[in-house]
Amino acid sequence: MSRLRDLADQHGQSPWLDNLRRGWITSGELQALIDRGVRGITSNPSIFQKAMTETDDYDEQLRELTGGGGSIEDAYWDLVTRDILDALDLLRPIHDATNGLDGFVSVEVDPSLAGDTEGTIEAARELRRRIDRPNLYIKIPATPEGLPAIRTMISEGCSVNVTLIFSLERYVDVMEAYLSGLEAHEGDLSGISSVASFFISRTDTEVDRRLDAIGSEDALALRGQAAVAQGQVAYELFGRTFSGPRWDALAARGARVQRPLWASTSTKNPDYPDTLYVDTLIGPDTVNTLPEATLEAFDEHGTLARTVDADPEGARSTLAAVEAAGVDLGDVADVLEAEGVSAFVKSFDELLVTLGDKVDNPD
């Protein structure tokens, strides 16, 4: 049995693939990964930019979509929809076998709407109309403007993957948006699902940069520790939130916990172990989205043990030490959120230009 299967069966953590491209679907490679233990898929504009520009797998459909005068942006969403639908079909048996726990595929709203609540709501509704499947997650960013959109979509019975979470304070807001959305939904809640995507490695990259700039011995000793500590404290907050009278009332109506999802789990610093952000965040009711290289590394030599709540006091102490050393974690989160939104918008805009070039210059 693979470590990926053991991760889910023995430790309650679902391994998802942090990538999607048409060639994997048509070649059977994606099905092979599912057979090995992958239980879900996430996508984003950057992922589709690479898929659509680095291969010619989409060119024939692109020409068909634009041949009658259709817009490039409309063609993009049609290309995405086809991949998402095909992936949803492959993962539907997982969704059914796990009673709706896993088998999800995530698709993100237009990233340029991250600061537009009403625009995000309408875009999410349109994606839901376009891709009407029970194992679809609509990805909405956890920006201040995204939070009310998350609440609204949950209240309408839509399953949501909340993305771009970089701070504990914003994570608390995300969980509140989910709970209040459930409370506003009438009737049975068992068909509504959500994950909260807490970005991990990017936090270490930015915190380490600041610790290096501080340069003291105490600061340098903290490198590579903040991201994992923040994830572990987030898991503690998750446990507190999804317990007690308020949660019990929702659970009685069929509600599911909003699982923490560890995103951005590839190791950016080559000095750190390649499975650092998997080995240290394993625990029940969690998801880890793995890029291919990290997935292969973990399946080969990852460490299987419950670690996410092994030392919550130590995790809190680490974050306090990072702050005491001179790193403002709130500012780190603000910078990373802005960079994350900007990167997705850039990928989206560049992809539309590239698709336009392919249409105008087919040779």
Of the candidates 139, 268, 346, 358, the residue annotated as catalytic is 139
Q: What's residue 363's pLDDT?
A: 63
Query: For the segment 19-52, what is each residue's pLDDT rounded down to a tens digit?
Result: 999 999 999 999 999 999 999 999 988 899 899 9
Instruction: Convert 18-48 to b/e letters by CB count within 10 Å (16 or more is b).
Output: bbbbbebbeeeebeebbebbbbbbbbbbbbb
Task: Band the pLDDT of 221: cuts 50, 70, 90.
Answer: very high
CB-neighbour burial class of residue 245 (10 A; exposed 0-12, middle 13-18, buried 19+): exposed
358 is catalytic: no
Q: DSSP labels for 282-314?
A: --TTEEEEE-HHHHHHHHHH---S--TTS-HHH
- Say if residue 148's pLDDT is above 70: yes
- Say if residue 233's pLDDT is above 80: yes
Distances 120 to 57, 111, 148, 239 between C-alpha atoms, Å? 29, 9, 10, 29
Region at 157 (left for phi over 0; alpha for psi -120 to 50; beta for the rest): left
112 secondary structure, DSSP code = G
Q: What's residue 360's pLDDT?
A: 81
Nearest to 334 by CA among 206, 244, 174: 206
- Say if residue 359's pLDDT is above 90: no
Q: 3-202+225-308+334-360: what fold?
A: TIM Barrel (3.20.20)
Query: For the segment 171-211, what is each residue's pLDDT rounded down to a tens digit?
Result: 999 999 999 999 999 999 999 999 999 999 999 999 999 99
Question: What is the token pair recorded at 332?
Answer: 């780190």
- What whole-number distance in Å separates Cα of residue 10 and Cα of residue 1? 11
Is residue 24 within 8 Å of residue 41, measured between CB atoms? no
- What whole-number distance in Å separates Cα of residue 337 and Cα of residue 279? 25
Query: What value does the mean pLDDT of the chain take?
Result: 96
Identity at 317, one-letter amino acid code: S
Nearest to 155 by CA among 111, 194, 123: 194
Question: What is the token pair recorded at 362?
Answer: 């087919």
Task: Band the pLDDT of 351: cuts 50, 70, 90.
Answer: confident
3-state secondary structure of 198: strand
State the average pLDDT over residues 257-285: 97
Question: What is the token pair recorded at 242?
Answer: 């999804």
Other CB atoms within a 10 A radius of the CB of residue 333 amount to 22
Residues of the chain above pLDDT 90, percent = 91
Query: For the segment 51-101, what is each residue's pLDDT rounded down to a tens digit?
Result: 998 889 999 999 999 987 889 999 999 999 999 999 999 999 999 999 999
Q: What's residue 1's pLDDT?
A: 56
Question: What is the token pair recorded at 30?
Answer: 């994606």
Q: What's residue 361's pLDDT?
A: 77
Residues of the chain above pLDDT 70, percent = 99
